[in-house]
């Protein structure tokens, strides 16, 4: 048998130091993009706090693998949650080599609870993607109409938000016409329901603005407002949308896509219509400013005419002076006519604005002999087919109300 020495099996040996080998491994890890920024899920099997940071192990729940991890002291204040033994977490960081022990470790930058953290991560990714498409850009926002005549409200018909919005609109701007497009605002079917409700309003074509509202609730209750379906429906709507989603947490994606957002349904109703009393006050201020401006112009022109007369009186009359005086007189007449014309225009504008305010004031309509009929729910009765014999109604006159009972409909008697 041949006599082989150990050196015969390993010819041309060129050993390297442990430091160089460790450096090679570290460089290989750094050159692997998947390991420079990676999310890892697992259960915290051990955790200890040291002056330099938090050292812990992540254990795979299915297999038997374990991953040593560290959170350096400088990164601890940025954590959403600190790892605790038995906690299922999502950890974000990079794989690196710890040279003194010749081991690899997971250097963690962020830790999230597994259930809520996973949802938060998915929401963050969706927000980044939609933001990159420009759906949240300020340039996409549409201005709201200053004095809308017709608006639409999208919410659940059984929600308290619907009642709050109606009361607010009735008290602030009673002349506005409200279209109601019902939608489910909670649960798995909510995103498609909200999308269809927005589409109905767009197809109808009468609304000048839309209120999308829901009262407060848990994160799960409000999750439909983070749906991509809802966000795209809002962003693509040609009609401006105001959201009034009653939560005090972070903004929903629907809020970010809306043309304007409000904290509550009531706040959304306030944002979408002006206050009638404020309009009247603003109109009075404008009229007074116009009157003052015209008065100043009139006084200035009178002063100019007076100065011209004085100059004419000091000059010896001659033909040229007579011509100057005649031109001055004609100028004076033109100025008077111009001032009178502007005053007349101002008065006509005042009359027009006053008539417009009167046209949308339901109290003045009632004083002209019309009445307003409401049912027991204080809803306005616009169609006789909604009435039944024996129903109690409230008749609003210009100077008060009366209660009546329906005894006959088109000849039918009780």
Q: What is the pLDDT of residues 317-334, one digit of tens each?
A: 566 767 777 888 888 888
Q: Say which range, 38-47, 58-67, 216-225, has the weakest mean pLDDT.
A: 216-225
Q: Say which range, 146-155, 243-252, 261-270, has the weakest mean pLDDT.
A: 243-252
Topology annotation, domain 18-121? OB fold (Dihydrolipoamide Acetyltransferase, E2P) (2.40.50)
269-285 average pLDDT score: 81
Sort strands 103-113 and 372-374 into parallel, antiparallel or unpaired: unpaired
Buried b (16+ CB within 10 A) or exposed e, 348-365: eebeebeeeeeebeeeeb
CB 107 within 8 A of CB 96: yes
Handedness of CA 272, 275, 278, 284 (dihedral sign): positive
Q: Say which range, 6-10, 187-191, 286-290, 402-406, has the weakest mean pLDDT.
A: 6-10
The answer on pLDDT for 1 being more than 50 is no
Architecture of domain 146-274: 3-Layer(aba) Sandwich (3.40)
The answer on pLDDT for 258 being more than 90 is yes
Residue 115: CB atoms within 10 A of its CB come to 10
79-100 average pLDDT score: 85
Q: Say which range, 5-14, 68-77, 395-404, has the weakest mean pLDDT.
A: 5-14
Q: How much is the pTM?
A: 0.49
Q: Say which range, 46-55, 106-115, 225-234, 260-269, has the weakest mean pLDDT.
A: 106-115
pLDDT range class, residue 118, cuts 50, 70, 90: low
Q: Which pLDDT score, from 0 to 100, does residue 317 have?
A: 57
Average pLDDT, the chain: 83
pLDDT range class, residue 8, cuts 50, 70, 90: low
Alpha carbons 375 and 381: distance in angstroms, whole number = 7
């Amino acid at each position: 048998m041949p006599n082989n020495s150990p050196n015969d099996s390993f010819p041309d040996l060129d050993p390297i130091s442990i430091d160089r080998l460790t450096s090679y491994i570290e460089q290989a890890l750094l050159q692997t993009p998947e390991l420079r920024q990676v999310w890892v899920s697992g259960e915290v099997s051990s955790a200890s706090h040291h002056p330099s940071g938090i050292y812990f192990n992540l254990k795979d729940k299915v297999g038997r693998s374990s991953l040593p991890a560290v959170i350096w002291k400088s990164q601890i204040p940025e954590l959403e949650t600190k790892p605790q033994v038995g906690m299922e977490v999502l950890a974000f960081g990079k794989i690196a080599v710890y040279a003194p022990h010749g081991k690899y470790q997971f250097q963690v930058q962020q830790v999230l609870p597994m259930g809520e953290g996973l949802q938060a991560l998915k929401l963050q990714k969706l927000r980044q993607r939609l933001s990159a498409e420009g759906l949240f850009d300020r340039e996409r926002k549409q201005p709201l109409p200053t004095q809308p005549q017709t608006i639409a409200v999208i919410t659940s018909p059984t929600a308290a938000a619907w009642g709050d919005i109606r009361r607010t609109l009735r008290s602030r701007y009673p002349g506005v016409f409200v279209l109601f497009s019902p939608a489910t605002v909670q649960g798995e079917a909510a995103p498609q329901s909200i999308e269809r409700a927005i589409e109905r309003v767009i197809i109808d074509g009468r609304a000048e603005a839309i209120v999308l509202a829901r009262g407060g609730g848990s994160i799960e209750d409000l999750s439909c407002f983070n749906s991509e379906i809802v966000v795209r429906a809002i962003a693509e709507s040609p009609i401006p949308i105001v959201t009034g989603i009653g939560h005090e947490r972070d903004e929903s994606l629907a809020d970010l896509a809306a043309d304007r957002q409000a904290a509550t349904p009531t706040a959304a109703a306030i944002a979408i219509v002006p206050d009638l009393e404020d309009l009247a006050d603003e109109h009075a201020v404008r009229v007074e400013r116009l009157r003052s401006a015209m008065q100043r112009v009139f006084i200035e022109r009178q002063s100019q005419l007076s100065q011209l007369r004085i100059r004419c009186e000091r000059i010896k009359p001659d033909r040229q002076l007579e011509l100057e005086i005649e031109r001055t007189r004609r100028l004076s007449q033109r100025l008077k006519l111009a001032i009178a014309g502007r005053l007349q225009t101002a008065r006509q504008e005042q009359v027009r604005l006053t008539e417009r305010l009167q046209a949308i004031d339901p109290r003045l309509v009632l004083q002209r002999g019309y009445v307003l009929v409401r049912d027991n729910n204080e809803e306005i009765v616009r169609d006789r087919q909604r009435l039944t014999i024996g129903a109690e109604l409230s008749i609003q006159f210009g100077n008060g109300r009366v209660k009546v009972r329906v005894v006959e409909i088109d000849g039918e008697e009780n």
